[in-house]
Amino acid sequence: MLIFTLFLLVGCKSSYLVRNASVSNIISSFKDYAGVHGYQITYQNDATGSYRLNMGNVYVPEVSRTVKTTTVIATPAKDSYQPMTAYEETTWLTVSNPGHYVVATAMVSITQQGDNVLIVLDGNDVAGVQLNDVYDYFEGLGYVIEKK
């Protein structure tokens, strides 16, 4: 469960270059992508190609972590033939984060670069891999796209 949580909490920043395309066509296709996937565009500026996607709520399960700290204090014996006397103190600290929902969001930038269009997707920590299918979506529409 902890491995899943760590995987889920990894943010996502991806860049794609769409060959021989115009910003206006890519913006239209991007809006279709958001609608088909059930995402909401909560901010849009078509002039600058800036968007914010709300991808819904993601459940982050409870995470509990326990840390053990040990301190050893040793005193030397007066006689070298005697063993050392040691005192040990152990402290346990448990931190628990209850399960909760977090909104998965992403900032999107779509800009023209010569004959090509650059798409930059920057998701928050819980967006995870939800945006990885952008490549397949645009490729399915017939665009020549490459990961940067």
> Which residue in the block uniquely carries the two structure tokens 């500026």?
45
Q: Give the helix/strand (H/E) hosting 28.
A: helix 23-36
Q: How many CA within 13 A on the CB side of residue 46?
A: 9
Query: For residues 93 and 9, which has the higher predicted lDDT (pLDDT)?
Result: 93
* Rounded-to-integer distance, Cα 131 and Cα 119, Å: 12
Q: Which of 134, 126, 128, 82 is nearest to 109 (CA)?
A: 134
Q: For the domain made up of 8-59+104-147, give the CATH fold.
A: Alpha-D-Glucose-1,6-Bisphosphate; Chain A, domain 4 (3.30.530)
At 147, is the pLDDT very low, low, confident or very high (cuts 50, 70, 90)? very high
Query: For residues 66 and 34, which has the higher predicted lDDT (pLDDT)?
Result: 34
Other Cβ atoms closer than 10 A to 23: 19
The pLDDT tens digits of the residues spanning 53-104 come to 999 998 888 877 777 777 777 666 666 666 666 667 777 777 788 888 989 9
Other Cβ atoms closer than 10 A to 141: 14
